[in-house]
Amino acid sequence: MSRRTWALIAALMVSVIYGVSFTIAKDVMPFYIKPYGFILLRVIGATILFWIVSFFGPKEKIQLNDFPRIVAAAFFGVALNMLTFFKGLSYTSPISAAVIMVTTPMIVLILSAIIIREKIKFKKVLGILLGLFGTAVLILYGKTIDNASNASLGNLLVFINAVSYAFYLIVVKKLMDKYNAFTFVKWIYTFGLLMVLPFGWSEYQEIHWTVITVSVLWKIGFVVLFTTFFTYLLNLVSMRELKPTSVAVFIYLQPLFATIFAVSSGKDELTLVKVISAGLIFFGVYLVTVKKNGPRMH
């Protein structure tokens, strides 16, 4: 099996894990653990795991001038990314959050165009506008069932998370080209831990471990081990062979997996607003990413 095939499989596995995680994390927040406290718990666990794994990886020394990029990756990929996502998810529903995350590839295109001065064709501009319009509809009118206390604010925060993740995909790519993933990901999480600590410490102290059931502990463990640790490793594997825009494309599958899991477990429901918003976003993403007469993937 080729390295590219492994990279595609890794990207697919990330989408499956994230799709399921929307509902699993929602079961924990905010009743058992508040969002920022959960993030601190998540980042502490992942940081420990990445440091342990790094001892078995290659021995590389990071150049001093690369640490500003690592700090930027920590801010966009860990701190801002997680803080806005978990806070947003605590307010909105799993399906709405997953649909909004689909805007990431469009944001990657916009940021890439700004950074490398690439011209954007009219078709892609139209796609971006449609996608953002669909997101705006979901943010403003995406009401849902009882597990969403403030859907509009939650959807807005998830959108900010998507922008942050798009920045991360671009920032981390140069590190991927220069170092082995195990060399720098531990530092990304170490700096990320320092960034989320002031936000999460008070909520972390409020956790009442005596009332947390075994099933909730399993869900917390899933988020720390799979949603955080394994997905970051799998993302790094996929990004070594694929472009940031290609990795972002797999985010399209997250709403599918999130919807199947959320609806089947009775945690969310499909509404007309969600379907229309998703249609606008997906069509916008199609216009942004489709290549005319491009090579077919085998």
CB count within 10 Å of CB 109 equals 22
Per-residue pLDDT of the chain (298 residues; tens, 9 = 90+): 678 778 888 888 888 888 788 778 878 877 888 889 999 999 999 999 999 988 887 788 889 999 999 999 999 989 998 899 888 887 877 767 777 776 776 777 777 777 656 566 777 777 767 766 776 666 566 555 444 557 778 888 888 888 888 788 778 878 878 888 788 889 999 999 999 999 999 999 998 888 889 999 999 999 989 988 888 788 777 777 777 666 666 666 666 677 767 667 666 666 777 677 777 766 776 676 565 543 333 3
What pLDDT sits at residue 5?
A: 79
pTM: 0.73
Q: What is the pLDDT of residue 47?
A: 94
CA-based nearest residue to 17, from 162, 293, 234: 234
Instruction: Report pLDDT for 268.
Output: 63
* pLDDT number for residue 74: 94
Cα–Cα distance between 191 and 103 in angstroms, integer? 27
CB atoms near residue 70 (< 10 Å): 22
What span, in angstroms and rounded, lies between the C-alpha atoms of 225 and 239?
20
Number of H helices, E strands in the chain: 14, 0
141 CB-side CA count, 13 A: 12
